[in-house]
Amino acid sequence: MPKKVETIVLHDSSTPVLGDVQKGGNVVLTNLEYVLNQARANSLWPLTFGLACCAIEMMSTVASRFDLARFGSEAFRATPRQADVMIIAGRLSKKMAPVLRQIYDQMPEPKWVISMGACASSGGVYNNYAIVQGTDQVVPVDVYVPGCPPSPDALIYAFLKLQEKVKRGTRPQSFKDLRLVEFADPRHLEEVEA
């Protein structure tokens, strides 16, 4: 007995049908900024700025046990011109602060900063004249990693949080974007257009 094979095509009234050819299918609409943010979030290249004991924990995040490469950040850069995430690991002295700012300024836009450890985030136990009491006084910080020293798991979690932030695309790019007024003349203030 011969078998009859029938092709059943399901379509609604909004899908155009030309003869036996059905037009339509999956369509994705988005904007270019969203696609770029997704690509940036999954390929963050960190710049190492290890200043103290937290740098050992930062180095162990790329070892085989924790493997930061799973999140697209395996390429630790030695030059600021190839990096987009600065990890400040350890206490920041006032002598090193101008160097940190210079390296931050050499990084291309967009750029992000992770402050790793209690010393980098708030000065830690070093409440004296030689240590900067928080790296956010020198550069804008996006993610703070608590601990003394923080574990490699904590730094990986910070990378995940930074990836979420990059995907959303909400971040002022510099201190100038954060400033609402600027001093043209010391006697009066001028509004800055946003």
Q: Tens of pLDDT along 137-154?
A: 899 999 999 888 888 888
Tens of pLDDT along 97-123?
999 999 999 998 888 999 998 888 888
**What's the pLDDT at 104?**
92
Q: Are 49 and 103 in contact (CB under 8 A)?
A: yes
Number of H helices and E strands in the chain, helices first, is: 6, 8
Sequence-ordered list of residues with C-beta below 8 angstroms from that of 38, at least 6 positions apart, any chain: 167
Q: Are 113 and 88 in contact (CB under 8 A)?
A: yes
CB atoms within 10 A of CB 128: 8
CATH architecture of the domain formed by 32-166: 3-Layer(aba) Sandwich (3.40)
Distance of alpha carbon 191 from alpha carbon 186, whole angstroms: 14
**What's the pLDDT at 102?**
92
Domain boundaries, the chain: 32-166
Tokens of 34: 């969203």
Instruction: Please give the model's pTM, rounded to 2 decimal places.
Output: 0.70
